[in-house]
Copies of this chain bind each other. A is one copy, B any other.
Amino acid sequence: MTTFDGIDLHRRMVRIRVFEETAGRLSESARLPGFLHLYVGEEAVASGVCAALNDDDQITSTHRGHGHLVAKGGDFKRMMAELMGKATGYCHGKGGSMHINDLDLGMLGANGIVGAGVPIAVGAAFANKYEDNGRVAVAFFGDGSTNIGAFHEAANMAGALRLPVLFVCENNEYGEYTRRCDTMAITDIIERAPGYGMRGVIVDGMDVVAVHEAATGALEGVRSGNGPALLECKTYRYFDHMGVKGVGVSYRSDTELEEWKQRDPIRSFEARLAESGELSADAARAVWDEAQAEVDGAIEFAEQSPLPEPEALLVGVYNETGAPS
């Protein structure tokens, strides 16, 4: 059994939840431009996995990327400013929600193309092996994304080249408004793992400790040169594919949602921490308040930040530097 830092796991999850719910509210009052894919309900996955990583390990993300960045240590101010399209944002307003990233934190970007981040994670893993620097790369992706060619090619290549990469599937049973069972004839995503010569592990994605332990275990193998592994986290998104709503929709039942909410990753973990005496209700409350204060500060920062100047439009298309010749 691996040990875990409950306070840290809890804090990561709360920070994601608070950031996402706030972003959701902002978007409902039309204060955020563009598409917004929220991570609420799935916090245990990003938190459990990222807590098992070193700071210099890399991750790639998806259209639903805020949670991954927060879990990796992302800065609320720069995130919120980016969601608002401000010059102070992570991408200086050029990327928005779907391209949020922090290369310094090893977060190699959300991605607007389903599955496209997976080969990029494999490339990062290749670089790590090439440089023998001990780092690993993690690719996050959804259940629906495992149906696309890029996922397959990347998983196979990682297997063939024995690259240090962990594939983390966030199986929330839907791709947009389509049920997973209508798009694949398998029960679990890990049924795909043997086809790439890799080990597949299923874990309860609503249980952050379970995720963390499974990730730690899988990463041990990955780090020690055993090649890639696939971790399937069974989870659920509370909100809609885009935006907030999520209830009263035709493609899934409110009962189903309620059942999942009964197993809310944060509430259940708080109960557990309270029971073990690690975190009192008050202390937990303080974590929420702190996160909320930080997000509120981020909103203020973002709102007071300038929009990109017109001249910024053509900046950053190309890099003017080059290798020393």
A278 on interface, CB distance cutoff 8 Å = no
Stretch at the interface among A12-20, A33-41, A83-91, A149-157: A149-157
Give chain A interface residues in 144-191, CB to chain B under 8 Å.
147-153, 156-157, 159-160, 162, 182-186, 191
A196 on interface, CB distance cutoff 8 Å = yes
Chain A interface residue bracket vs B: 20 to 34
Which B residue sits closest to A196, measured CB to CB?
Answer: B185
Residues of B with C-beta under 8 A to A152? 147, 149, 151-153
Contact present for A194 and B197 (CB under 8 Å): no
Interface residue SS majority, chain A: helix
Contact present for A186 and B195 (CB under 8 Å): yes
Contact present for B185 and A159 (CB under 8 Å): yes
Contact present for B192 and A195 (CB under 8 Å): yes
A215 on interface, CB distance cutoff 8 Å = no
**Alpha-carbon gap, A148 to B156, bound state (A):** 9
**Alpha-carbon gap, A240 to B215, bound state (A):** 45
Also in contact, A160 and B148, with CB within 8 A (given A191-B194, A194-B195):
no
Q: Which of B147, B156, B197 contacts A147 (CB 8 A)?
A: B156
**Alpha-carbon gap, A160 to B159, bound state (A):** 25
Residues of B with C-beta under 8 A to A162? 185
Residues of B with C-beta under 8 A to A186? 159, 194-197
Which B residue sits closest to A147, measured CB to CB?
Answer: B156
**Alpha-carbon gap, A232 to B33, bound state (A):** 51
Which B residue sits closest to A156, measured CB to CB?
Answer: B147
A109 on interface, CB distance cutoff 8 Å = no
Most buried by B among A162, A186, A197, A198: A186
Q: Shortest beta-carbon distance, A219 to chain B, in Å?
A: 18
Contact present for A153 and B160 (CB under 8 Å): no
- Offer 17 A-B interface pairs, CB within 8 angstroms, sorted by A: A147-B157, A147-B160, A149-B149, A151-B152, A156-B183, A156-B184, A159-B185, A160-B182, A162-B185, A184-B197, A185-B227, A191-B194, A191-B197, A192-B195, A194-B194, A194-B195, A195-B195
Residues of A within 8 A of B (CB): 147-153, 156-157, 159-160, 162, 182-186, 191-198, 227
